[in-house]
Amino acid sequence: MSSSPTPRRKLPIGIQNLREILEGGHYYVDKSGLAIDLIESSGKAFFLSRPRRFGKSLLVDTFKELFEGNRALFEGLAAETRWDWTRRHPVIRISFSDGVAQNVTELAHRIQHNLRSNRSALGLLRPADLPPEDVASDLAELIRQAHAHFDATAVVLIDEYDKPILDNIAAPEIALQMREGLMNFYSVLKDADAHLKFVFLTGVSRFSMAGLFSGLNHLQNITLDERWSALCGYTDADVDTVFAPELPGLDREEIRRRYNGYNWLGESVYNPFDLLRLFESREFRPYWFETGTPTFLIKLLTERRQFTPDLGRTVAPEELLSTFDVDTIPTEALMFQAGYLTIDSVEELPNQYEVTLKYPNHEVQASLNTCLLQSLSGGLSVPGPQISRLYRLLQAGDVAALRGLFHAFFAGIPHDWYRKNDIADFEGYYASIFYSHFAALGLDIVVEDTTSKGRIDMAVLCFGAVWLFEFKVVELVPQGRALQQLQERGYADKYRSRGEPIHLVGVEFSKADRNIVGFEVETLAAS
C-alpha cells in the first residue's frame, strides 16, 4: 500500500519571523542544528556576509528564539534534543533592515529606536544621566544592565549591520559619515566582552579592518568557512525533501541551472527568495534580480570600462573578496559580496589563496548582462528586441542573418550617447556588447577557450551547433585576420568530436565607424 503524498504547505515568502513560519503552517528548512553548531564552536563573536534576501534575518531570529529558551517552538526540529533549555540569556536584537537613513541624524534616530525597543522588551529603564545622543554609551549600559538584571550574560544580534552605508554608497561623503557613526556604535561590543554570551553580526558586505571593523577585530569572519556555507540558503537536498510537494510540474534540472550555485567554499545553495517565488508562480523568472536593480554596480562597471567577458572568470586573492571600504571598492569584492559572482575554484599559492569566480547561475548571468547591455548601449529599450531575435536566429542556425542583426544594433545606438560617453573608445567595448548579448540569453559560453594552438575568443554551444568567434579591431590589425586566425589555428578541432556543425565567425570592429566592418563565416558540416 503506497503512502499518501506529502501535502503542500504555505510558502513563507518575505517572512523572517521563525514563530510565524512554524506556527503558521509554512515550509521551514531547519537551520537550528547548524545554528547550535556555530554557538558551540570556538569563540563567541561572529560575522557572516551573505547577499540580500538570503535568509539572514530568519537566521538571526532563530538565534533569538534559542537563547530565549522557547522550546515549544522547536518541537520536532534538530534543536529540540540538542539545546540546554534550562539556560536563558537576555537578547538584544538590532536591525537596520527596514527603511533608509539618509544622514547621520536619521541614523542616530534609528539606533535610538532600536535601543528603546530592546529596553522595553527586557523591562529595563534607560539611566537618566545618559546623554540622548550618546548611542554607544547607551548600548554599553544596556548590555551591562541586561547581564545584571537577568543574572546571565547577554546576546547581541545585529541584522543588516551595513545597510545604512550601502544605502548611501553612491554618495561617498554621506556613506563615510554613516561608517563613522556605526563604527563608534559597534566598538562597544569588544569592551563589553565580559557581559556577553554570544555576538552575531550579519550583512551584505564586510568593510575593511581599517574602517568599520577597526573596533571589531575580535569578530570571527565565517563568510568563507566551508562549515557554514549552507547556514543561509537552501541546498539541493532541502529542495528535494522539504519542497518535494512543489516539484511536480517543474523541470528539476532547470531549477538547478537557473537558481543553484551560490558557494562559499562549502556546499552550494539556492537563494530562498527565488525558489519560493518560483513555487508560487510556477514560472521561471529572475525573481531575486528583479527585487533590486543594481544601479550603483552597473554604473561602477561601466565607469571602470569592465570587459564583460571577464566577469564570468574573474581571478582574485581570497583576502580581496573579504573586504572593501567606501573609498576603495574593488570590483571583484563588490560583485562577490553582493551575490553577482560566486566561488568556482580555489588554488593554494605561496602565502595566499587565489580564487576564481563565476556567475552563480543562469538568472544572474542573463539578468546582469541585460542590465550591462542597457548601460553600454545608452537606453533601456535598445537591446531588448535584439536579444530576442538573436535567440531565434541561433535556434534556426541562420548564420547569414547574424551580421545584419549586430550591424543594426550598433547602428541603433544613439549618436548622442557616444558624444556623452567615452567608454566606446576602449578596445573591449564592442566585444563586450557582442558577448553580453549571448550571456543575456544564459547560453553555454566559454571565453578565451584554450586549445593546443591558442585561445578562442568566445565559444558558444547551443541548439546542436558550435559557434566559435574571433574578435579584431581593424585599427589595430589588418582587416580579414579574424576568420583567418580561426582557420589557421585549427580551433574547430577541439569540437569535431561533438558531431555537430561548427560555425567559424570572424568579427571585425572599427572604432572610427562605430560598427562591424567585417563579418566572415565558414561553416564546417557535422562529422
395-419 pLDDT per residue, tens: 999 988 998 998 888 888 777 666 6
What gap in Å lies between CA 228 and CA 31, rounded to an integer?
Answer: 11
In the predicted model, is pLDDT for residue 214 greater than 50?
A: yes
Its pTM stands at 0.91
Alpha helices in 123-159 (DSSP H): 135-150
Return the bridge partners of 522, or none. Answer: 504
| Contact residues for 194 (Cβ-Cβ < 8 A; gap 6+) | none
Packed helices 362-377 and 252-259: angle between N→C axes, nearest 10 degrees? 50
**Cell 513560519 belongs to which residue?**
21
CATH of 378-524, one of 1.10.490, 1.10.3470, 3.40.1350, 3.30.1360: 3.40.1350
Please give the share of the chain, as a percent, with pLDDT higher than 70: 95
CATH code 3.40.50 region(s) in the chain:
31-228
Number of residues written out for the chain: 527
Query: Order of strands across the sheet with 342-349?
Result: 315-317, 352-358, 342-349
CATH of 31-228, one of 3.40.50, 1.10.150, 3.30.390, 3.30.300: 3.40.50
| Contact residues for 495 (Cβ-Cβ < 8 A; gap 6+) | 459, 466, 468, 502
pLDDT for res 146: 98
27-74 pLDDT per residue, tens: 999 999 999 999 999 999 999 999 999 999 999 999 999 999 999 999
Return the bridge partners of 447, or none. Answer: 458
What gap in Å lies between CA 253 and CA 4, rounded to an integer?
Answer: 25
Burial class for 508, CB neighbours closer than 10 Å (0-12, 13-18, 19+): buried
What gap in Å lies between CA 70 and CA 117, rounded to an integer?
Answer: 20
pLDDT-derived band of residue 208, with 50, 70 and 90 as boundaries? Answer: low
pLDDT for res 1: 43
**Cell 506556527 belongs to which residue?**
23
Of 88-92, 168-172, 299-303, which has the strongest mean pLDDT?
88-92
Burial class for 256, CB neighbours closer than 10 Å (0-12, 13-18, 19+): middle
Q: Buried b / exposed e across 277-294, counting CB within 10 Å, b at 16+?
A: bbbeeeebebbbbeeeeb
CATH code 3.40.1350 region(s) in the chain:
378-524
Average pLDDT over all residues of the chain = 90
Which helix (DSSP H) or strand (DSSP E) does residue 306 occupy? none
DSSP string, 6-67: PPP-B--TT---HHHHHHTTB-----HHHHHHHHTSS-SEEEEE--TTSSHHHHHHHHHHHH
Rounded mean pLDDT of 180-207?
92
The more confidently predicted of residues 151 and 302 is 151
Q: Which of 150-164, 234-248, 451-465 has the lowest mean pLDDT?
A: 451-465
pLDDT for res 2: 47
475-518 pLDDT per residue, tens: 888 887 899 999 999 999 999 999 999 999 999 998 888 889 99
278-296 pLDDT per residue, tens: 999 999 999 999 887 668 8
In the predicted model, is pLDDT for residue 260 greater than 90?
A: yes
pLDDT for res 215: 66
Contact yes or no for 350/307 (Cβ under 8 A): no
In the predicted model, is pLDDT for residue 381 greater than 80?
A: no
- Amino acid, res. 357: L
Three cell numbers, residue 301: 562597471
Contact yes or no for 302/309 (Cβ under 8 A): no
Contact yes or no for 59/231 (Cβ under 8 A): yes
In the predicted model, is pLDDT for residue 4 greater than 80?
A: no
